[in-house]
């Protein structure tokens, strides 16, 4: 079996070739279509837009909707204007398919199937578009990261709407078994589910005893809907981690965290924690300062360590022995018992 035959049997290559062939067929049909002329009529505005968009495809530029004129006597549209989307600048033929109004490859069923398959494996929109474009034999970018992201957002929203009733059913069943089970559902303007928070009676009772320090970190997105998973975590008398509530969030904006912390406080009888540990997300920090004004806020040491290479790269280049000195300093830092001992050690090493 030759290499050429192996490539032709690759399902991914066949799918991408179908997308490319679909674009070619669109361009061929455009060349054979009639040119605009006076007296040409259309049934809808979209039909007129699509006709003109296909016509200008061969000239190497794209169009956009510019303005609409209405009659002063009657509330009806009398004229609709379409113009070039780049200030009447033509593009070369090998770049015209990248223009917004002509690039329809991402709407093909085959391309949607590829995006779904890669997303189910945990690949992000930017990487998905890069993979599809790199394996395209035509050498033309057939999909952008934004187009991939928009498609996945729409599908995620539709799936959430379908699964929301199942989640509510499970919550109500748990509420029957546990009378102190607390839950809250955030809805958007279309009454679709945005975020969900829940906490059982065991977690609520544990918080009364162990409310001195909690950890709140939003770093998990392994569910089918790519919704951030936000657990509230504490530590019991045996130094074991305990859950103090969980949430699935629609996004990581401030208004979402305000809703979440407000529901969590209601669940915990409006008793704020003594201290809370989070990452360095600005939205979380702003909401904590507003919702927990008397709570000590600290950053997670593990997350701070992730940024060491980024912030210390200049010192590593300037001082060859910096990595060794820094590692020794971190090792000694873990052995220090108090801030005073740290200061004495620092003065001794720098003097």
pLDDT above 90 (res 60)? no
- Render pLDDT for 68-87 as a digit per residue (tens, 0 to 9): 777 777 777 778 787 776 65
The residue among 193, 272, 192, 194 whose CA lies nearest residue 232 is 272
Query: SS3 for 4?
Result: helix
Answer yes or no: is pLDDT of 190 > 70. yes
Q: What is the DSSP string of 114-136?
A: HHHHHHHTT--HHHHHHHHHHT-
Taken as a whole, the chain contains a residue count of: 351
Classify residue 35 by its DSSP letter: P
Task: Give the pLDDT confidence score for residue 87 in this predicted structure.
Answer: 55
pLDDT band, very low/low/confident/very high, at 224 (cuts 50, 70, 90): low
Maximum Cα–Cα distance across the chain: 91
The answer to which of 150-164, 171-185, 276-290 has the lowest mean pLDDT is 150-164
Q: Which of 235, 211, 215 is nearest to 278 (CA)?
A: 215
Band of residue 296 on the pLDDT scale cut at 50, 70, 90: very high
Which pLDDT tens digit goes with each residue over 84-97? 766 544 444 444 44
Q: Considering the chain, what percentage of its residues have pLDDT values greater than 70?
A: 71
With a cut of 80, say whether residue 24 has pLDDT above it.
Answer: no
∠ CA(164), CA(170), CA(173), 5° rounding? 140
**What confidence tier does 212 reach under pLDDT thresholds 50, 70, 90?**
very high
Average pLDDT over residues 182-190: 86
Alpha-carbon gap, residue 95 to 113, rounded angstroms: 25
Which of 17-31, 168-182, 247-261 has the least mean pLDDT?
Answer: 17-31
User: What's the rounded mean pLDDT across residues 277-288?
Assistant: 91
CB neighbourhood size of 203 (10 A):
21
Which pLDDT score, from 0 to 100, does residue 205 have?
95
pTM of this structure:
0.55
Greater pLDDT, 290 or 138: 290
Segment 187-211 mean pLDDT: 89
- How many angstroms separate the CA atoms of 20 and 118, rounded? 19
Is residue 258 within 8 A of residue 252, CB to CB? The reply is no
Count CB atoms within 10 A of the CB of residue 105.
24
Kindly state the helix (H) or strand (E) to which residue 109 belongs, with its residue range: helix 109-120
Average pLDDT value for residue range 159-167: 67
Helix (H, G, I), strand (E, B) or coil at 70: strand
């Amino acid at each position: 079996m030759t290499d050429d035959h192996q490539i032709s049997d690759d399902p991914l290559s066949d799918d991408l070739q179908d997308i490319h062939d679909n674009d070619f067929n669109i361009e061929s049909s455009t060349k054979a279509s009639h040119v605009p002329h006076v007296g040409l009529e259309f049934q809808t505005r979209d039909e007129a837009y699509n006709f003109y968009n296909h016509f200008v495809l061969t000239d190497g530029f794209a169009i956009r909707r510019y303005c609409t004129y209405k009659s002063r006597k009657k509330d009806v549209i009398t004229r609709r204007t379409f113009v070039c989307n780049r200030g009447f600048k033509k593009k070369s033929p090998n770049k015209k398919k990248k223009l917004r109004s002509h690039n329809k490859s991402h709407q093909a069923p085959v391309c949607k199937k590829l995006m779904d398959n890669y997303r189910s494996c945990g690949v992000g929109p930017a990487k998905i578009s890069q993979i599809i474009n790199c394996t395209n034999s035509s050498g033309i970018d057939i999909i952008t990261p934004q187009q991939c992201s928009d498609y996945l957002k729409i599908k995620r929203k539709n799936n959430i709407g379908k699964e929301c009733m199942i989640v509510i059913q499970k919550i109500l069943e748990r509420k029957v078994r546990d009378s102190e089970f607390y839950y809250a559902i955030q809805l958007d303007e279309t009454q679709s589910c945005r975020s969900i928070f829940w906490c059982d009676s065991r977690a609520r009772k544990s918080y009364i005893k162990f409310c001195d320090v909690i950890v709140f970190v939003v770093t998990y997105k392994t569910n089918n809907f790519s919704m951030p998973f936000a657990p509230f975590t504490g530590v019991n008398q045996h130094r074991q981690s305990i859950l103090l509530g969980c949430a699935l969030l629609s996004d990581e904006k401030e208004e979402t965290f305000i809703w979440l912390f407000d529901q969590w406080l209601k669940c915990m009888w409006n008793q704020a924690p003594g201290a809370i540990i989070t990452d360095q997300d600005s939205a979380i920090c702003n909401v904590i300062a507003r919702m927990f004004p008397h709570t000590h806020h600290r950053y997670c040491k593990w997350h701070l360590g992730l940024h060491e290479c980024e912030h210390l790269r200049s010192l590593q280049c300037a001082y060859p022995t910096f990595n060794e000195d820094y590692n020794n300093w971190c090792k000694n830092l873990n052995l220090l018992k108090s801030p005073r001992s740290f200061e004495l050690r620092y003065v001794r090493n720098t003097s």
